[in-house]
């Protein structure tokens, strides 16, 4: 049985057994994929699983507007799974109302997204492929290394193109604020492109520093091809090396930038090396 | 849960991006980007992302309205259609068919535009049908049709990414066609050189490798200089010129009359920079020229386009992939409206009304005798409004904001006997109408839009029109019936079949073929896959024609009383007259008040501060707006977007016309700036 | 606030201290044209009465919404100017004191031009801050003049006694049947050398003679605790009855437990291996057998699992060693230690006296601990002497294991009930340095071994200190929440949530060091809510709120943004 | 560190970093007291820094730091209490972690994390404050102005040679 058929069988069973009221996935409409909320098992034959299409935010919005007792199934990939975890941690969706049908990404998809974990925690079918280390990617290296001046020039060239479509924010499964700081004249000057785009992208990137699930949605949707997800790489590496924390992997663990001080840290017994950034000898 | 995702096409600019409307309980609640769309590929601009916001706006018109004693009263559709038909017929009877004039719409579908011009031509017997294409690419259509044989963008959007050199003249695509700009940036990432010619330092200019900040309206001297330099360096494509063009000798002769120094002084660009750009363009294996309103909205707009065609022909950068002449169309279906004949001089498919064969063909197909006389253009219609033009019918147009010299329009329109406006909202123009017909927006109907790369794409109905509003297709069917014409089309696809039967370039276009990626015309037969780029082995007209341009400097130059050059145009978060975008809360918050761009030196001299109130005055009118101090404009220049009814830039502009295409000179006029 | 041109500025020459370096005329010129500034005056000394009167009279202008004073630092006279103006009826929320003396003229005395530029910047920042200051939230608290004391050990009893002497009604709750806590287990108390009865009798008399001033609930169990500083509701059971009381402050004096060695040094399977407290029991019963006694220090403590010094064990062992010698002066007493911790003159003397009486001290190393030998009874202790670097075998009849104090097993539950933090060892966490009895929960104080192992003497002192802290809180009369906190020498801005914008993500709840933020369901969605009494205005919540829906009205993001703008704008 | 008081007659005008703008977010419990102390001692310091007092450095939004850089401020110092010695129950440790996470981002885009100076606990006393400020100001003085960064955003070659 192909991966699609296995998912299809599962979705049908879920709907038939009334374990969920609807399943969010992709369906073919005039030969092309669109998101679809399947509520009738007979419609499920139109279900497809490609291409990779972020659905976590849609699922969140469905649950937010649906009646309290509505239960939803979601055909999801690794990034959707992590996004659901992060959204649940931030009270944006009720994990008990959501049944995940996890499928793994292909090696090629993982490479495209520079994804280190291209599979959900539980998969219903298919084979996992190993993820990749973002810094091994040539383009990523180009953007993340070099002297400060080189980096500045490279990013200036990229960010200067921004047309302020808000697409990166709109597709981001984690960006849920209404209103959003990026619409606030205080933080990002209104009515100009790209005048304040630096604030826009740095503030946006930092807001996601401990929540970004590396879905690559921002890069994919950017009409002017800014490699936005590369802004996250170094912060993610820092979180990983300093706190062994990766967003979306552990539903129980609170982000280290929000938690109480951990044992030993900042006390007599262990002092972080970065007490004073000048003394650090950089 | 009643939740659907409807794939459709963005209603704003001519790029034709794919959007997915999320519809819940009969309301469009969100817009998603369509990841599988061939043009936008999952990206959208700020307007596209908010395309759902105005649909359910409380300002939408829901009932036909008739003005009595200066006040609008509701009436039934039967009464409204009856009244409209009666008044149109009365005018024809009393003053002859040419006393009726009409504006079709670049916002409506191909099918609707086709039915509209059919109603006017066959029902009323006049060719007085035009639309706002006049105000954007009228000169383009005229010049390119004459020089190359086809008035449309020669290549595809996807072609940009493979070019080696892209020359952008008078287009701020980053704000007006952001998704196309993305493709151009892709080319730059692939190593292409991006050169921008613009009097303003626009967004595009900021991202270019070279920016030639020319004097307003001096494109012809610049291009002429480039051509001279190319010839001097023997970089012209001799084989191409010899085998595929006419008129080169005359061209050479014309060029030899001017000196480089003179040309350079005229356009304000040092010769060295012109040389650099000329060589970049000529040496590139594939090179595209992108242009927009900065070229066309001049009194010598048509010649400007000729100049561009000349440059491309000289280097042979046309008729092949990744290079070509690319006018970017401003409205979602301005291409389509032209294609299906919403122009006074041509039937659908650019078949001239003056041509006897065409006349006979359409007269037979529509079963009526038709007028042989080309109709009036937009600008001519308003010039004649209240005099020879007695009744006006507009569909989805807001000329009061989009057309030049607003004050003049406001004087003329009340002189009409009867004015029918069909629109979504009570626009500035509709307020002047006698009869207002509530229409449906893009999300409420089925049909096709044709984007700037000639791609005919299917629009799908997502929600019902509000109240009693009807889609323009239904309204037109009712009117057609009232005039005894066929009005019982089952659905728009039947109209498209009729278009295909009459229009050779769209002969193979049928709804069932458009499902996935649409079709790029020419589609001469049912099995033709569509055309990615035009003029492949031969030009549509046979050979490409060098046309000697007639340069006229801008009509109104700054003087003591009006020391500034005023330029008008668009900005990224609003669209045209703002009827849709200014009713979208998100877009309106992004920019909620009008502004005029002023150079810091000018601002300092006049004591103007950022955000402060200013008055801009020209010989035609005056607006109160707010200052934006920026070096985007040169010293002595001003730029004002025209989206704002509270400060309509077109109250200032001049209606000086391009003699060939009747395009007004919207880009240059002399203005005075005052604080407060 | 935030009207245009509504700020009145006053610059202080400070009799030349400021004007000698900073060109105040230029500053005045620059500020007068600044949007938001309505008027500007330069005075000689804003802190003196005459100028103060001018300030006060000028502010009667109904259109002026704020004052910005260019003067000295808050720590110099700035704060005092504000206080003095408050006495004249001008709310401190409307007065911004900008330090252009310590923070400018004095540190840039060699650079008058730069100092002038900087002064202009600083004042513009002050104007920006004042213009964007919103009226802060406020809530008033009327403290209940009763105090809850949890635990009737030396700390709790002292606290209760001190309070009742001040006429405060006290609820004293203890899980034991009789008061005294750990002291009840001890024969005599070090270093005072008295019995526990003697030790606490006076205080107990005070308590029980107070005619109901103290309600004592022995054998009680805590059920719940709600409320905040000034007004807590606490319910508990005592015997078969349940009680619910309202108090203004809480003193946690639950003490600590004595750690049992859990098989270490063969305790439990070898006759003669005792813990210190078991030895006390024998002393009390008068059944001490054997005269060769070896004390082993630091048992189960100062290791990886309990990396702390329990602080009292050395003194206890010294006391017991001397008590052994009291019974039998011929006894051979060894103390095997890793370090002897006897800080201060009293305890040092205690140590020297023990040494003089013949107690022998021998240092062992942590990684080579002593080994207790014997078949059924203790025979000897083998130990590696760290000083002489040789193995020694010491004959012994008794081996006494000196075990530390450790947190009570239900410390976690109590911490949860009162919202306290515990340190990494499990003791209740108190605020650092200057506030050693205060917890993160305003109005809850911790004393005695509940916060850290202490001798009886310290427990008593801490109990008395905690009583004073509690008294200070409940006796102040009606209080404004913005002045409630221990730290609120100045008025603080309390956090405020814009419920429409709040997404309910809970970041603020996670970071709030005072548990002042909580999520509540409002119209079907979770929204953050601030407990104003708990909030101390630190601003942690503001910096983690993803969309700025929580703000300190007195120091909003808008104000900081405008201040940054003021810095950038100059010279450009 | 020698005291450069007026009395010593050893006044040294520090010109390093002149023209740069530096903002110091100073915790009222530590760094602000240090700043006050430096003032009382009349230590000569570079005049490029502007202090913004905050209740606790946990109030400092990373967004505000970003905003500062993007609006042309060359250096931002965040000076708070000792980690573990915060008046607000360890609030500054979380804040420190957050700002620490901002540094890789600043480095990624080439703003350079050395422009963000974080100091915890060194500034309570005046000479420590003075030393920290002086070394930070001189470090910023050696770096290009941050506006060079934003200026690089306008890369187009204009024939008229105007630059924003």
Q: In chain D, what are the domains?
A: 22-151 (3.40.50)
Q: Which residue of C has its CA nearest to D90?
A: C513
- What was the pLDDT predicted at B352? 92
Q: Which domains does chain B have, with CATH numbers?
A: 3-49 (2.20.25.90), 65-135+332-520 (3.40.50.740), 138-328 (3.40.228.10), 564-675 (2.40.40.20)
B407 touches chain A (CB under 8 A): no
Candidates D103, D108, D119, D140, partner chain A, best to mutate (most A CBs within 10 A): D108
Torsion of Cα atoms, D151 then D156 then D157 then D158, to 10°: -90
Considering the domain architecture, whether residues A200 and A106 belong to the same structural domain is answered as no
- Among candidates D153, D156, D164 on the partner chain, residue whose Cβ is nearest the Cβ of B211: D156
Backbone angles phi, psi at C217, to 5 degrees: -120, 90
- Give counts: helices (H), strands (E), chain A: 10, 5
Kindly provide the residue ranges of all beta strands, DSSP E only, lying in B179-305, ordered along the sequence. Answer: 193-197, 210-212, 245-246, 287-291
Q: In this structure, what DSSP letter does residue B119 have? A: I
Backbone angles phi, psi at B614, to 5 degrees: -140, 160
Strand partners for A270: A265
- Quote the longest CA-to-CA distance of chain A: 67
The tokens for D110 are 């080439």
Considering the domain architecture, whether residues A104 and A141 belong to the same structural domain is answered as no
Q: Over the stretch B208-264, which tens digit does the pLDDT of each residue have?
A: 999 999 998 999 999 999 999 999 999 999 999 999 999 999 999 999 999 999 999
- A267, part of any domain: no
Nearest chain D Cα distance for residue B399, angstroms? 36
- The DSSP secondary structure of B134-153, one letter per residue, reads HHHTHHHHHHHHHHTS--S-
- A233, part of any domain: yes
Contact between B1 and A170 using a beta-carbon 8 Å cutoff: no
Instruction: Tell which CATH classification among 3.50.50.60, 3.30.1490.20, 1.20.1090.10, 3.20.20.100 matches the domain C146-256+407-479.
Output: 3.50.50.60
Which chain A residues are Cβ-neighbours of B43 within 8 angstroms? 165, 167, 221-223
CA dist., res. C146 & res. C485, Å (int): 19
Q: Which residue of D has its CA nearest to C486?
A: D87
Neighbours of chain B (3+ CB pairs under 8 A): A, D
The single residue listed with the structure tokens 């879920």 is: A14
pLDDT under 70 in chain C at which residues? 1-5, 59-64, 432-433, 485-490, 570-572
CA dist., res. A96 & res. C176, Å (int): 45
- A261, part of any domain: no
Contact between A164 and B572 using a beta-carbon 8 Å cutoff: yes
| Domain limit, last residue, from A132, A167, A187 | A132
- Among candidates A198, A234, A271 on the partner chain, residue whose Cβ is nearest the Cβ of D104: A234
pLDDT higher than 50, residue D161: no
- What was the pLDDT predicted at A187? 87
Strand partners for A101: A75
Q: Which residue of C has its CA nearest to A86?
A: C505
Contact between A277 and D117 using a beta-carbon 8 Å cutoff: yes
| Domain limit, last residue, from A73, A101, A132 | A132
Which chain D residues are Cβ-neighbours of A209 within 8 angstroms? 101-102, 105
Which chain A residues are Cβ-neighbours of B571 within 8 angstroms? 191
Interface of D with B (CB under 8 A): 153-160, 162-164
On whether the CB atoms of residues B410 and B118 are closer than 8 A, the answer is: no
Candidates A63, A67, A90, partner chain C, best to mutate (most C CBs within 10 A): A90
On average, the pLDDT of chain B sits at 93
Considering the domain architecture, whether residues A211 and A227 belong to the same structural domain is answered as yes
Q: Over the stretch B475-507, which tens digit does the pLDDT of each residue have?
A: 999 999 999 999 999 999 999 999 999 999 999
Nearest chain D Cα distance for residue A207, angstroms? 8
Nearest chain D Cα distance for residue C37, angstroms? 20
- Among candidates A90, A177, A179 on the partner chain, residue whose Cβ is nearest the Cβ of C506: A90
Which chain D residues are Cβ-neighbours of C542 within 8 angstroms? 59, 61
Which residues, other chains included, contact C284 with Cβ-Cβ below 8 Å and sequence gap of 6+? C187
Contact between A90 and C505 using a beta-carbon 8 Å cutoff: yes
Mean pLDDT of B277-298: 94
Considering the domain architecture, whether residues A160 and A194 belong to the same structural domain is answered as yes
- Put simply, the chain D residues between 104 and 163 with a CB less than 8 A from any chain C CB are none
**Half-sphere exposure at residue B373, Cβ-oriented, CA atoms within 13 angstroms:** 8
The mean pLDDT values, 10 residues at a time, for chain A of 282 residues are 91 94 93 92 92 94 93 95 96 94 93 92 90 86 88 87 93 92 87 76 94 94 94 92 90 86 39 43 34
CATH number for the segment(s) C260-405: 3.50.50.60
On whether the CB atoms of residues B34 and B7 are closer than 8 A, the answer is: yes
Question: Which of B98, B96, B66 is CA-nearest to residue B81?
Answer: B66
- What was the pLDDT predicted at D148? 66
- Put simply, the chain A residues between 122 and 141 with a CB less than 8 A from any chain C CB are none
Which chain D residues are Cβ-neighbours of A153 within 8 angstroms? 110, 152
CA dist., res. C20 & res. B182, Å (int): 59
- A62, part of any domain: yes
Question: Which of C406, C461, C460 is CA-nearest to residue C428?
Answer: C406
Contact between B174 and A160 using a beta-carbon 8 Å cutoff: no
Considering the domain architecture, whether residues A10 and A119 belong to the same structural domain is answered as yes
Q: Over the stretch B166-176, which tens digit does the pLDDT of each residue have?
A: 999 999 999 99
Contact between D107 and A196 using a beta-carbon 8 Å cutoff: no
- The DSSP secondary structure of C241-268, one letter per residue, reads EEEEEEESEEEE----EEPP-TTGGGTT
Contact between D83 and A275 using a beta-carbon 8 Å cutoff: yes
Considering the domain architecture, whether residues A170 and A190 belong to the same structural domain is answered as yes
Range of the domain at A112: 3-132
Considering the domain architecture, whether residues A117 and A207 belong to the same structural domain is answered as no
Considering the domain architecture, whether residues A114 and A200 belong to the same structural domain is answered as no
Q: Over the stretch D4-32, which tens digit does the pLDDT of each residue have?
A: 322 222 223 333 334 789 999 999 888 89
Q: Which residue of B has its CA nearest to D160?
A: B213
Which chain A residues are Cβ-neighbours of B30 within 8 angstroms? 61
Q: Which residue of D has its CA nearest to B273?
A: D159
User: According to CATH, where is 3.50.50.60 located in chain C?
Assistant: 146-256+407-479, 260-405
A35 touches chain B (CB under 8 A): yes
Contact between A202 and D114 using a beta-carbon 8 Å cutoff: no
Interface of B with D (CB under 8 A): 196, 201, 205-213, 268-270, 273, 630-631, 634
Query: CA gyration radius for chain C?
Result: 31
Q: Which residue of D has its CA nearest to C77?
A: D36
Contact between D156 and B209 using a beta-carbon 8 Å cutoff: yes
Considering the domain architecture, whether residues A110 and A140 belong to the same structural domain is answered as no
Contact between C561 and D64 using a beta-carbon 8 Å cutoff: yes
Mean pLDDT of D127-152: 83
The domain C7-133 having CATH identifier 1.10.287: the answer here is: no
Which chain A residues are Cβ-neighbours of C504 within 8 angstroms? 90-92
Say what angle helices C344-356 and C313-327 make with each other, to 10 degrees. Answer: 30
- What was the pLDDT predicted at C199? 84
On average, the pLDDT of chain D sits at 77
Q: Which residue of B has its CA nearest to D164?
A: B631
- What was the pLDDT predicted at A217? 94
- What was the pLDDT predicted at B439? 96
CATH number for the segment(s) C496-555: 3.30.70.20
pLDDT higher than 60, residue D157: no
The single residue listed with the structure tokens 């009742």 is: C164
Q: How confident is the model at residue D153 (pLDDT cuts 50, 70, 90)?
A: very low
- Among candidates D97, D135, D154 on the partner chain, residue whose Cβ is nearest the Cβ of A257: D97
Nearest chain D Cα distance for residue C417, angstroms? 18
Backbone angles phi, psi at B498, to 5 degrees: -65, -40
- A271, part of any domain: no
Contact between B43 and A165 using a beta-carbon 8 Å cutoff: yes
- What was the pLDDT predicted at C571? 47
What is the number of structural domains in chain A?
2
Nearest chain D Cα distance for residue C281, angstroms? 41
pLDDT greater at residue B85 or residue B133: B85
- A266, part of any domain: no
- Among candidates D48, D71, D88 on the partner chain, residue whose Cβ is nearest the Cβ of C536: D88
Contact between B201 and D159 using a beta-carbon 8 Å cutoff: no
Q: Is D106 exposed, middle or buried (0-12, 13-18, 19+ CB in 10 A)?
A: buried
On whether the CB atoms of residues D110 and A244 are closer than 8 A, the answer is: no
Considering the domain architecture, whether residues A13 and A120 belong to the same structural domain is answered as yes
């Amino acid at each position: 049985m192909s991966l699609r058929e296995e998912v299809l069988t599962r979705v049908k069973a879920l709907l038939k057994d009334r374990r969920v009221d609807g399943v969010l996935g992709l369906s073919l409409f005039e030969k092309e994929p669109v998101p679809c909320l399947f509520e009738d098992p007979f419609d499920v034959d139109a279900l497809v699983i490609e291409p990779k299409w972020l659905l976590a935010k849609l699922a969140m919005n469905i649950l937010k507007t649906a009646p309290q007792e509505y239960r939803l199934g979601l055909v999801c990939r690794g990034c959707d799974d992590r996004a659901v975890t992060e959204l649940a941690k931030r009270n944006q969706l009720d994990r008990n109302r959501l049944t995940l049908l996890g499928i793994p990404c292909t090696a090629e998809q993982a490479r495209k997204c520079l994804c280190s974990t291209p599979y959900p925690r539980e998969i219903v079918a298919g084979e996992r492929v190993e993820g990749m280390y973002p810094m091994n990617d040539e383009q990523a290296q180009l953007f993340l290394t070099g002297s400060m001046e080189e980096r500045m020039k490279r990013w200036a060239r990229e960010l200067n193109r921004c047309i302020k479509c808000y697409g990166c924010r709109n597709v981001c499964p984690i960006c849920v604020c209404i209103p959003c700081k990026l619409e606030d004249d205080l933080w990002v000057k209104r009515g100009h492109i790209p005048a304040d785009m630096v604030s826009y992208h740095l503030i946006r990137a930092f807001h996601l520093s401990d929540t970004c699930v590396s879905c690559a949605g921002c890069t994919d949707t950017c009409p002017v091809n800014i490699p936005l997800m590369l802004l996250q790489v170094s912060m993610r590496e820092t979180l990983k090396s300093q706190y062994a924390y990766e967003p979306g992997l552990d539903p129980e663990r609170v982000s280290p930038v929000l938690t109480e001080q951990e044992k030993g840290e900042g006390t007599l017994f262990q002092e972080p090396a970065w007490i004073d950034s000048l003394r650090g000898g950089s | 849960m009643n939740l659907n995702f409807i794939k459709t096409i963005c209603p704003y600019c001519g790029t034709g991006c794919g959007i997915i409307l999320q519809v819940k309980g009969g309301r469009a609640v969100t817009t998603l980007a369509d990841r599988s769309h061939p043009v936008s590929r999952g990206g959208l601009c700020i307007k596209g992302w908010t395309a759902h916001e105005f649909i359910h706006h409380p300002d939408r018109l829901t009932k036909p309205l008739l003005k009595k004693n200066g006040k609008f009263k509701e009436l039934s559709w039967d009464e409204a259609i009856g009244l409209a038909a009666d008044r149109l017929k009365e005018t024809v009877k009393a003053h002859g068919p040419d006393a009726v004039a009409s504006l079709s719409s670049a916002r409506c579908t191909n099918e609707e535009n086709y039915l509209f011009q059919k109603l006017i031509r066959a029902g009323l017997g006049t060719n007085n049908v035009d639309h706002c294409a006049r105000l954007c690419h009228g000169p383009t259509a005229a010049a390119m049709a004459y020089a190359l044989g086809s008035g449309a963008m020669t290549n595809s959007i996807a072609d940009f990414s493979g070019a080696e050199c892209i020359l952008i003249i008078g287009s701020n695509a980053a704000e007006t066609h952001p998704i196309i700009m993305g493709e151009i940036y892709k080319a730059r990432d692939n190593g292409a050189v991006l050169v921008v010619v613009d009097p303003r330092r626009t967004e595009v200019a900021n991202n270019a490798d070279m920016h030639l900040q020319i004097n307003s309206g001096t494109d012809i001297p610049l291009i002429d200089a480039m051509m001279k330099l190319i010839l001097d360096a023997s970089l012209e494509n001799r084989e191409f010129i010899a085998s595929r063009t006419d008129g080169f000798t005359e061209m050479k002769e014309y060029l030899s009359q001017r000196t480089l120094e003179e040309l350079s002084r005229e356009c304000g660009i040092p010769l060295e920079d012109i040389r650099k750009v000329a060589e970049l363009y000529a040496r590139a294996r594939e090179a595209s020229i992108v242009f927009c309103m900065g070229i066309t909205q001049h009194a010598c707009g048509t010649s400007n386009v000729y100049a561009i065609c000349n440059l491309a022909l000289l280097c042979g950068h046309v008729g092949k992939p990744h290079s070509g002449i690319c006018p970017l169309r401003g409205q979602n279906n301005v291409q389509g409206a032209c294609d299906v004949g919403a122009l006074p001089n041509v039937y659908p498919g650019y078949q001239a009304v003056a041509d006897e064969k065409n006349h006979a063909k359409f007269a037979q197909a529509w079963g009526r005798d038709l007028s042989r006389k080309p109709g009036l253009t937009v600008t001519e219609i308003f010039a004649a409004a209240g005099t020879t033009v007695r009744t006006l019918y507009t569909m989805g147009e807001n000329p009061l904001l989009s057309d030049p010299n607003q004050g003049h329009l406001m004087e003329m329109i009340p002189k009409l006997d009867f004015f029918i406006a069909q629109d979504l909202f009570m626009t500035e123009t509709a307020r002047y109408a006698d009869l207002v017909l509530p229409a449906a927006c893009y999300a409420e109907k089925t049909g096709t839009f044709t984007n700037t790369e000639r791609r005919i794409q299917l629009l799908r109905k997502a929600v019902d029109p509000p109240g009693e509003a009807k889609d323009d297709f239904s309204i037109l069917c009712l009117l057609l019936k009232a005039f005894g014409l066929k009005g019982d089309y089952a659905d728009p696809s039947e109209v498209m079949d009729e278009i295909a039967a009459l229009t050779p370039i769209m002969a193979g276009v049928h709804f069932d073929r458009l499902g996935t990626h649409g079709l790029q015309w020419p589609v001469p037969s049912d099995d033709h896959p569509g055309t990615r780029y035009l003029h492949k082995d031969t030009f549509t007209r046979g050979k490409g024609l060098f046309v000697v341009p007639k340069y006229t400097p801008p009509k109104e130059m700054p003087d003591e009383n009006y020391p500034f050059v005023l330029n008008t145009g668009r900005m990224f978060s609003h669209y045209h007259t703002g009827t849709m975008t200014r009713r979208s809360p998100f877009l309106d918050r992004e920019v909620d008040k009008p502004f005029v761009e002023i150079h810091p030196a000018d601002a300092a001299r006049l004591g103007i501060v950022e955000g402060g109130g200013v008055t801009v005055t020209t010989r035609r009118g005056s607006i109160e707006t707010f200052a934006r101090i920026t070096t985007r404009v040169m010293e002595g220049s001003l730029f004002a977007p025209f989206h704002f009814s509270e400060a309509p830039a077109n109250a200032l502009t001049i209606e000086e016309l391009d003699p060939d295409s009747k395009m007004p000179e919207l880009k240059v006029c002399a203005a005075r700036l005052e604080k407060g | 606030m935030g009207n245009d041109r509504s700020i009145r500025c006053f610059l202080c020459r400070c009799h030349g201290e400021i004007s000698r370096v900073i060109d105040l005329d230029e500053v005045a010129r620059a500020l007068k044209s600044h949007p938001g500034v309505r008027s500007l005056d330069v005075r000689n000394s804003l802190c003196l009465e005459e100028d103060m009167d001018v300030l006060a009279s000028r502010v009667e202008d109904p259109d002026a919404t704020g004052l910005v004073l260019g003067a000295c630092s808050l720590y110099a006279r700035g704060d005092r100017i504000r206080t003095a103006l408050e006495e004249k009826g001008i709310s401190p929320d409307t007065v911004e004191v900008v330090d252009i003396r310590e923070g400018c003229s004095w540190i840039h005395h060699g650079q008058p031009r730069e100092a002038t530029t900087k002064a202009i910047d600083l004042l513009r920042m002050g104007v920006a801050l004042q213009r964007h200051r919103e009226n802060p939230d406020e809530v008033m608290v009327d403290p209940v003049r009763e105090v809850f004391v949890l635990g009737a050990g030396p700390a709790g009893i002292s606290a209760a006694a001190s309070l009742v002497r001040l006429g405060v009604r006290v609820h004293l709750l203890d899980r034991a049947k009789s008061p005294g806590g750990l002291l009840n287990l001890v024969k005599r108390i070090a270093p005072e050398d008295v019995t526990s009865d003697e030790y606490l009798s006076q205080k107990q008399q005070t308590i029980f003679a107070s005619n109901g001033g103290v309600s004592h609930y022995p054998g009680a169990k805590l059920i719940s605790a709600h409320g905040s500083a000034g007004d807590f509701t606490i319910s508990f059971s005592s015997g078969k009855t349940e009680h619910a009381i309202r108090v203004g402050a809480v003193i946690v004096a639950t003490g600590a437990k004595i750690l049992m060695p859990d098989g270490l040094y063969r305790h439990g399977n070898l006759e003669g291996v005792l813990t210190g407290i078991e030895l006390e029991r024998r002393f009390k019963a008068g059944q001490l057998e054997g005269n060769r006694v070896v004390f082993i220090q630091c048992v189960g403590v100062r290791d990886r699992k309990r990396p702390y010094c329990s602080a009292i064990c050395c003194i206890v062992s010294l006391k017991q060693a001397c008590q052994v010698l009291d019974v039998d002066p011929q006894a051979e007493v060894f103390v095997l230690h890793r370090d002897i911790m006897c800080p201060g003159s009293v305890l040092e003397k205690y140590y020297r006296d023990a040494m003089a009486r013949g107690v022998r001290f021998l240092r062992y190393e942590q990684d080579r601990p002593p080994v207790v030998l014997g078949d059924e009874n203790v025979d000897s202790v083998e130990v590696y002497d760290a000083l002489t670097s040789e193995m020694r075998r010491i004959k012994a009849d008794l081996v006494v294991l000196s075990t530390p104090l450790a947190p009570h097993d239900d410390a976690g539950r109590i911490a949860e009930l009162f919202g306290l933090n515990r340190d990494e060892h499990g003791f209740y966490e108190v605020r650092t340095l200057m506030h050693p009895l205060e917890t993160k929960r305003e109005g809850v104080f911790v004393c005695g071994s509940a916060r850290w192992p202490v001798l009886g003497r310290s427990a008593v002192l801490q109990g008395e200190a905690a009583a004073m802290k509690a008294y200070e809180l409940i006796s102040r009369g009606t209080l404004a929440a913005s002045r409630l906190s221990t730290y609120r020498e100045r008025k603080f801005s309390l956090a405020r949530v814009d419920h429409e914008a709040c997404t309910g993500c809970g970041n603020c709840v996670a970071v709030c060091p005072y548990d002042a933020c909580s999520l509540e369901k409002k119209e079907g969605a979770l929204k953050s809510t601030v407990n104003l009494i708990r909030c101390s205005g630190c601003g942690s919540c503001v910096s983690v709120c993803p969309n700025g829906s929580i703000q300190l009205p007195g120091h909003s993001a808008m104000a900081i943004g405008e201040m940054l703008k003021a810095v950038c704008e100059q010279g450009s | 560190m020698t005291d450069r008081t007026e009395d010593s007659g050893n006044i040294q005008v520090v010109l390093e970093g002149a023209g740069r703008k530096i903002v110091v977010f100073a915790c009222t419990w530590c760094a602000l007291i240090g700043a006050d102390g430096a003032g009382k001692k009349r230590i000569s310091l570079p005049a490029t820094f502007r202090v913004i007092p905050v209740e606790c450095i946990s109030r400092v939004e990373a967004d505000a730091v970003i905003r500062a850089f993007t609006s042309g401020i060359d250096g931002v110092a965040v000076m708070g209490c000792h980690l573990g010695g915060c008046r607000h129950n360890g609030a500054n440790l979380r804040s420190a972690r957050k700002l620490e996470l901002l540094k890789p981002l600043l480095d990624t885009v080439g703003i350079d994390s050395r422009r963000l100076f974080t100091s915890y606990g060194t500034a309570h006393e005046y000479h420590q404050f003075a030393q920290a400020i002086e070394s930070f100001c001189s470090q910023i003085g050696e770096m290009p102005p941050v506006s060079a960064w934003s200026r690089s955003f306008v890369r187009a070659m204009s024939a008229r040679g105007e630059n924003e």
